[in-house]
Amino acid sequence: MTLSGFHARITHGLIDIPPEIDTAIWLTRKLHTCSLLGNQKTRKAITPSKSPIPPLSAHLGYWRRFVSNHVSYAFARKLADKDVTAAEWVVLHGLYGEGAVAPSSLADRLGLTRGAISKLADRLIQKKLISREDDTKDLRAHTLALTSAGTALVPILAALADENDAEFFGDMSAKERAALERALKSLVTRHGLKSIPMT
């Protein structure tokens, strides 16, 4: 409120000022308080300007991840019916038709760490899908190999992978599929990607 506004209210008896307080001093203090409150309200009302950003859907990575999540989730559900995870499937596939393989060799081929291979091997051994044997050439080392149950299961899991691919990409023409595969492989080569997808 302005000084004249306070004067008018005092004159018409709308504001009571104690007789022991000088009117001029009271007005000065009141105007100062109002000024501070006004500044605080102004500061609160001012919000920092935000630079415009594009929506998530404006990024190619968003759409790649959108599709990838659904493809991976559907495949994981199919594998779960066989009591196998996507990571275990990759290891089983890597051992198929290979005979006895050193864990370090398998890890390098799949782009995994030795520790990851060891943990996956332990799980698959418990499921009796692979076996771990001492290396006949190096008694300090060991090899991994599919059991008969593991060997029989791999083609079944491979059929599930084909089924999952058909569900998501079967409606694409051969030309569209070839273009998509070419684009994805180009990105893999361009960025030097090595690790095999585990999900």
For the chain, give every domain's residue range.
3-45, 57-190
How far apart are the C-alpha atoms of 146 and 96, rounded to whole Å?
7
- Is residue 10 very low, low, confident or very high in pLDDT (cuts 50, 70, 90)? very low
Check pLDDT > 70 for residue 156. yes
96 pLDDT more than 90: yes
Q: pLDDT band at residue 181, thresholds of 50, 70 and 90?
A: very high
Residue pair 83/127 in contact (Cβ under 8 Å)? The answer is yes
Residues 38-87 have pLDDT tens digits of: 555 555 555 667 788 988 889 988 888 899 999 999 999 999 999 999 99
Write down the residue that tokens 């306070």 correspond to: 6
Residue 105: the pLDDT is: 93
> Model pTM greater than 0.85?
no
| CATH 1.10.10.10 assigned to 57-190 | yes
State the virtual CA torsion across 149, 197, 76, 88 in degrees, nearest 10.
30
Q: What is residue 158's predicted lDDT score, i.e. its pLDDT?
A: 97
CA–CA dist 125, 129 (Å, integer)? 6
